[in-house]
């Protein structure tokens, strides 16, 4: 189950870029994610939905701003962090 999920996440370069960025920066809003990975808002939003569904990231709403961060305590995230080292 864990490997199937990781495979789904890794199937997209966009999701890989977003996940790596969030692992590196700790937390970002959707606009900053889009600028950093050079993807349009709609694409970033779709990728974030998939990552949330996979229980790899969490979202916090502060007013109208949505902040995303990796779920550090998640076993799957620890595996991905090891894969993305360097």
Domains within the chain, CATH numbers bracketed = 2-83 (1.10.10.10)
On whether the CB atoms of residues 54 and 76 are closer than 8 A, the answer is yes
**pLDDT tens across 54-65, in order?**
888 999 999 999
pTM of this prediction exceeds 0.95: no
Q: And the tokens for 82?
A: 């090891």
Long-range contacts of 31-35 (CB under 8 A, 24+ apart): 33/68
**pLDDT tens across 12-37, in order?**
899 989 988 998 888 999 999 999 99
On whether the CB atoms of residues 20 and 84 are closer than 8 A, the answer is yes
Instruction: Tell me: pLDDT of 80 over 70.
Output: no
Residue 64 CA, chain-centre distance (Å), reads 20
């Amino acid at each position: 189950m864990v490997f199937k999920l990781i495979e789904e996440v890794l199937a997209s370069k966009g999701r890989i870029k977003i996940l790596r960025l969030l692992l590196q920066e700790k937390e970002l809003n959707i606009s900053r994610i889009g600028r950093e990975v050079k993807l349009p808002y709609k694409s970033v939003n779709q990728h974030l939905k998939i990552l949330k569904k996979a229980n790899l990231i969490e979202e916090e709403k502060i007013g109208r701003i949505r902040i995303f961060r990796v779920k550090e305590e998640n076993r799957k995230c620890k595996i991905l962090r090891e894969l993305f080292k360097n």
